[in-house]
Amino acid sequence: MKKILTLLLSFSFLSLSAHAEQYWSDNSLSLLYGGNYKMIPAAKDSEARVMTLEHVSGHSWGGVFLFVDRIQTVDEEYRETYGELSPSFFLKQFEGGFIKSVNAEFTYEFGSSTTSPSNTFSQDNYLAGVGLDFNIPGMDFFKATIYHAWDNNTFGRAEDDQLTLSYGWHHGQVTVDGFLDFTPSKGSNHKETELNFTPQITYDFGPMLGLKNKVKVGVEYAYWKNKFGDGLKETQNNVSLLVKWHL
């Protein structure tokens, strides 16, 4: 199934590229520092720095969201690279209603660590599902997606389901955006119910500094109940300082 999804995604990109139109795009670089990361590495709490490269764009056929995290603990004993590539394809669009579009949604999750052999891991996970984009007054965007995931990692599960909400709102120079991932438990593989709620609250200092590009400063709060759902029942409550430069 994973190979079929990869082939479908490749074919879709190739077939759309001939007549696709890009409407907008945004690229950014973020730096975060937090003092209460759980399970970095496994069974350990750590202070860590995270550098994130992020891309989002809208096209005539849908959109693309891509990010890559580089995670490093302050003691430099643990390093990890993690990323997600999420293309979205319009199935049906609506004008002026509460529902903006119905989409075919895909995500490829990839990552690996570079610590001692006892702590190394890698993962290549594939998600496919259906999403709805909503028109909500005052919101920049609000999206809900139901995925089925085919997992290939070290956390003891082969398949699961996931609800993802993503959202964005701004007023003046203040922005609140983020996501919520909910994965229910599955008795067959002893996976715990998992909830990851991660908003960012930032203020854009770009105009004050006389810059055309946005330079956002703020915080990211990461509440992750039963992180990785691996049975250890670790819950992360972490506030990170955040600087985000839109390129």
pLDDT tens readout for residues 111-147: 888 765 556 678 899 999 999 999 999 999 999 999 9
Question: Which homologous superfamily does the CATH classification assign to the domain defined by 30-246?
Answer: Nucleoside-specific channel-forming protein, Tsx-like (2.40.230.20)
Q: CA 181: distance to chain centroid?
A: 9
Q: How far is residue 219 CA from its own chain's centroid?
A: 17
Joined tokens for residue 179: 């996501």
Helix (H, G, I), strand (E, B) or coil at 172: coil
User: Mean pLDDT over all residues of the chain?
Assistant: 87
Residue-wise pLDDT for 145-203, tens only, equals: 999 999 776 555 678 899 999 999 999 999 999 999 999 886 655 577 899 999 999 99
More reliable by pLDDT, 35 or 239: 239
Following CA atoms 83, 89, 94, 97 in sequence, which dihedral angle do they give, to the nearest 10 degrees?
-20
Contact present, 89 and 102 (Cβ < 8 Å) = no
Closest CA to 48 of 85, 77, 24, 23: 77
